[in-house]
A and B are shown apart, each in its own frame.
Chain A
Amino acid sequence: VRNPLRSEAEAFRFLIVVLGGAIVIAAAAYVNRWLGLVAAVLVIAWLVRWVRGGGE
């Protein structure tokens, strides 16, 4: 498991990843609020996978 706050550089990288996900969610929500919700679920699932896969 990756610790996204292990160092300042890791925390900054995590912020960039979260920002990317947020842009996807905001763009989807702009089209339709429910589409934004679906995008949020997908982004969260991808983020969890990204954090869990960090140690491999």
Chain B
Amino acid sequence: MAAAHAEHLDHHGEHHGPPPPHYSSRVAPATLGMFLFIGSEIMLFGAFFTAYFFVRVANGTPWPTPPFELPIYVAFINTCILVTSSFTIHWSLQSIKKGNVWGLRAGLLLTFLMGLTFLISQVMEYLRIGFNTGDGAFPTIFFCLTGLHGAHVFVGLTILLFMTIRAFRGHFSAEHHHGVEIGGIYWHFVDVMWIVVYLTVYIL
């Protein structure tokens, strides 16, 4: 903090520019921002899950409502792809911590490609599923929950794209890799949410 403050003083000891920021938390501002963002996301998903439980438990809607069927096995393959992408992003961070830049680049690229595969596969699933939001409460909740998650995958992919571009431009090193750490936290959160969505919508 003192060093940062010293940067704002010229050789006459006069202060220039804005005052140095004061951090009242032990958590880094960028990490704290991601925590708050994820906290708001948990509440958003909570609202949608509340609608799901209301429709299914309080309203007693059959799940899935006949004659509709859910593509459980396609979703299972998608789940495997998404969970594997968490392993690759973890590997990429471990690589850069050891100074392995190519490990970081390969890990991020693989994670991005797997996330993209997941999203494309979900769009294909929507096109072939055989029902739409206007067909009742079950399809509405199905599209809301899986669509909300899909939107999060899209945001995660955007973050991953920037991370990958930065990795190929050499912005990360063994000492400076906070951008990968934060993006990794978000990606794991998205994966955890998909596991919950998959269990509640497709399995139970």
Q: Is chain A's interface secondary structure helix, strand, loop, or mixed overall?
A: helix
Question: If the complex has contacts A12-B86, A12-B90, A26-B199, are A7 and B181 also in contact, measured as CB distance less than 8 A?
Answer: yes
Instruction: Give the residue name and chain of the A residue nearest to B181 (CB).
Output: A8
- CB-CB under 8 A for A5 and B185, given A37-B204, A40-B199: yes
Tell me the B86-115 residues at the A interface (CB within 8 Å).
Answer: 86, 89-90, 93
Is the pair B38, A5 in contact by a Cβ cutoff of 8 Å?
Answer: yes
Q: Say yes or no: is A1 at the interface (Cβ < 8 Å to chain B).
A: no
- Do B203 and A11 have beta carbons less than 8 Å apart? no
**Minimal beta-carbon separation of A26 from chain B (angstroms):** 5
Chain A contacts to B: CB under 8 angstroms:
3, 5, 7-9, 11-12, 14-15, 18-19, 22, 25-26, 29, 33, 36-37, 40
B residues with a Cβ closer than 8 A to A are: 34-35, 38, 83, 86, 89-90, 93, 180-181, 184-185, 188-189, 191-192, 195-196, 198-199, 203-204
